[in-house]
Amino acid sequence: MRTDPVNFSYEEWMEFRLRYSELKHSINNALAVFMALAELSQRNPDNYQKLAKSVCARTPELAALIQEFSLYLDTKGPPPSTR
């Protein structure tokens, strides 16, 4: 694992913060919807279908957002070290 520091310009740092903030918001929003539907499902089992649909629809979107952010980090960081 590399330990040398990575330097960002101000613009790169602000872009990183914006992308991270958007990722965090999307994940938190989806989790809030999942939790709300889970609580509603406990009161009314008919809501389990809504919960399942929501999870099935949002999970691929979240995975894509995480993958996109990972690729962004890979392009901004130092090249991987070779052993």
Task: Please give the average per-residue pLDDT across 62-72, as a whole number.
Answer: 93
**68 within some domain:** yes
**5 within some domain:** no
Looking at residue 83, what is its pLDDT?
Answer: 47
- Give a three-class secondary structure readout of the chain: CCCCCCCCCHHHHHHHHHHHHHHHHHHHHHHHHHHHHHHHHHHCHHHHHHHHHHHHHHHHHHHHHHHHHHHHHHHHCCCCCCC
CB 34, CB 51: distance < 8 Å: yes
**3 within some domain:** no
**38 within some domain:** yes
Q: Does residue 76 carry a pLDDT above 90? A: no
Give the count of domains, the chain: 1
**12 within some domain:** no
**9 within some domain:** no
pLDDT digits (tens, 9 = 90+) for 28-58: 999 999 999 899 989 988 888 888 999 999 9
For 67, the domain range is 20-76
**4 within some domain:** no
Higher pLDDT, 7 or 35: 35
